[in-house]
Each structure stands twice: as structure tokens, then as C-alpha cells.
Amino acid sequence: MKRKNLFVLTMLFAALTVVLPVQAQKTKARQQKQLVTVVYQTDIHCDGCARKIMNNVPALGRGVEDVRVDVPTKQVTVTYDAQKTGDDKIIAGLKSIAVNAVRADK
């Protein structure tokens, strides 16, 4: 009986390993998004600030697709799904990790 349980657990473990990434790829393909790319001018000054942003992308809210940080120009480029989020939420999200930001084109 114990051996049977172990076998089932091992199979479950292996199945999850394969299914999870495949399912995630399929889900991604199904989604239709309205992507917008916005550049923000920030007060970051070092690599630590860049790491802080990259470690906390979920703090910017849902719908964020891509984040790029350029320390010399202090610019953060965010690509997001306009159906799920907007400028205000991104700026508020950056504020929550102590990064002050404004749109670079304003």
C-alpha cells in the first residue's frame, strides 16, 4: 500500500512538472492584449534601485508585460495591457517601492 502511494505521488510530481509550463504557454497564446509602451522618468540612481524595481514588478499591478530599467538615463520603460491598468496605477506602484516617477513625454 505504501509503495502504491509513493508511486502515485511520483507520477503526480512528474505530471505537474510537464503540465504546468505547457498549460502556461497555451494560456499565453490565447490572450488578446491591448499593449501600450510608456517611458517614465524616475529618481533612481544605482543598480540597487534597478534591482528593487525588477524584484517587485507585481507591485506595479496587473497587466504589466515588460519592464526595462536604464540607470544612466533614470528611465523605466513599461509595456502594459491598457485594458487592465493605466499610467496612474503604474506610477502609484512605483511609488509603493519608493520610486518617484512621471511620464517622460509630459
Binding-site ranges for another protein (CB under 8 A): 5-6, 9-10, 13, 16-17, 20-21, 24-25, 47-52, 54-59, 61, 64-72, 79, 93, 96-98
CB closer to another protein, 17 vs 32: 17
> Shortest gap between Cβ of 86 and another protein (angstroms)?
16
Q: Which of 74, 72, 77, 73 is nearest to 44 (CA)?
A: 74
**DSSP-based three-state secondary structure for 60:** helix
> Shortest gap between Cβ of 105 and another protein (angstroms)?
20
> Shortest gap between Cβ of 70 and another protein (angstroms)?
6
Neighbours of 101 (CB within 10 A): 24
Residue 38: all three cell numbers together: 510608456
Residue with cell 519592464: 67
CB closer to another protein, 25 vs 106: 25
> Shortest gap between Cβ of 34 and another protein (angstroms)?
16
Which residues, other chains included, contact 20 with Cβ-Cβ below 8 Å and sequence gap of 6+? none
